[in-house]
Chain A
Amino acid sequence: NAGVTQTPKFRILKIGQSMTLQCTQDMNHNYMYWYRQDPGMGLKLIYYSVGAGITDKGEVPNGYNVSRSTTEDFPLRLELAAPSQTSVYFCASKGAGLLYEQYFGPGTRLTVT
């Protein structure tokens, strides 16, 4: 099993551009999450999903969109990128219910200039 994979690893965007961060898991997990981590800070929840077709907002959803058309994939879309979105983005997944641990991908480092 590859676990949770994220692409790309690094990306530089210009202000106003858009992009999609990809996240895929091969553990058949129902739950998937997107977090952002600013330098020297903790992780903030952007969006999460409890299954295909179901998504919900986290702590900091503004400026982002998500979709969940399959169990495996949970892409994060940035529209009109802003410097405030410069961060490291982590995707995570876990099994159904609250009695399972999260597994994290390696992260995507995004710079918006």
Chain B
Amino acid sequence: GIQVEQSPPDLILQEGANSTLRCNFSDSVNNLQWFHQNPWGQLINLFYIPSGTKQNGRLSATTVATERYSLLYISSSQTTDSGVYFCAVGVNRDDKIIFGKGTRLHILP
């Protein structure tokens, strides 16, 4: 099955810093999402981005499907950005959606 690798596994930053999270995948995908899991365990949709670039406030994401990776950018980090960021992908051979192991982000005040 498809493999999803996220890096880095852990990231500690000072408030106000910028960060780039990466998601590599091993097969062609027709579905790619970024989620934020907050400290209370809730999964929040950030982007649906199987290809191209999207922006939402301080967050943006780019997926280069032909090179099998996606990037999530967080600018001017705030403490509320802390949590785990997951990449989830689906392929058109089957209907599974598989998650990476996540990047744990901790923003220090």
Residues of A within 8 A of B (CB): 31, 33, 35, 41-45, 48, 50, 56, 58-59, 88, 90, 92, 94, 98-104, 106-107
Contact = CB atoms under 8 A, between A and B. Distances in A.
A8 to B, nearest CB: 15
Interface residues of B, number: 25
B47 to A, nearest CB: 9
B56 interface: no
Interface string B51-92: 000000000000000000000000000000000001010111
A102 B30 contact: no
B101 A88 contact: no
B7 to A, nearest CB: 13
Contacts of B25: none
B101 A98 contact: no
